[in-house]
């Protein structure tokens, strides 16, 4: 359902408490969606860093072989860069991933409680 239609339907509800519950429900759903998108980006970043580290290992193995035949100053800079990339730790990013997962779980629990409360209110209203 389009957001404009949802807002219009919400405005038709006369019960302010129910309206507030529904608004909170929509807000939490939106926040969960946003956090899931961020989580996907974080996971992609971790995967990309690990992929780069695997590639740097292969490059690091090739450079000494090439250095035997030619002396290219860029090789030293490349090795320094590779060493830096290898030193990058993903632990902070992993911690962020776990925090986002925890936040999503907490919001989903809150959402579940809201759904129950909304269902009770709707039954009271319409049954």
The pLDDT tens digits for 2-58 are: 656 655 665 666 678 888 888 899 999 999 999 999 999 999 999 999 999 999 888
Look up the pTM and report it: 0.75
Mean residue pLDDT across the chain: 86
Euclidean distance between CA atoms 27 and 10, whole angstroms: 13
Euclidean distance between CA atoms 115 and 109, whole angstroms: 10
Cβ-contact 107, 31 below 8 angstroms: yes
Euclidean distance between CA atoms 51 and 33, whole angstroms: 27
Q: pLDDT at position 86, please?
A: 86
Q: pLDDT at position 124, please?
A: 77
Summarize the confidence of residues 84-104 as an average pLDDT. 93
Cβ-contact 108, 32 below 8 angstroms: yes
Euclidean distance between CA atoms 117 and 124, whole angstroms: 11
pLDDT-based confidence at 61, cuts 50/70/90? confident
Is the pLDDT at 80 greater than 90? The verdict is: no
């Amino acid at each position: 359902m389009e957001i404009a239609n949802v807002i219009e339907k919400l405005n038709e509800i006369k019960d302010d408490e129910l309206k507030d519950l529904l608004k909170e429900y929509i807000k939490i759903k939106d926040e969960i969606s946003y956090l899931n998108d961020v989580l996907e980006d974080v996971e992609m970043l971790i995967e990309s860093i690990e992929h780069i580290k695997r590639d740097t290992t292969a490059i690091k193995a090739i450079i000494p072989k090439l250095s035997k035949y030619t002396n290219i100053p860029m090789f030293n800079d490349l090795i320094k860069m590779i060493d830096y990339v290898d030193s990058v730790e993903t632990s902070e990013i992993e911690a962020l991933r776990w925090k986002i997962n925890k936040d999503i779980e907490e919001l989903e629990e809150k959402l579940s409680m809201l759904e129950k409360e909304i269902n009770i209110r709707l039954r009271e209203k319409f049954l």
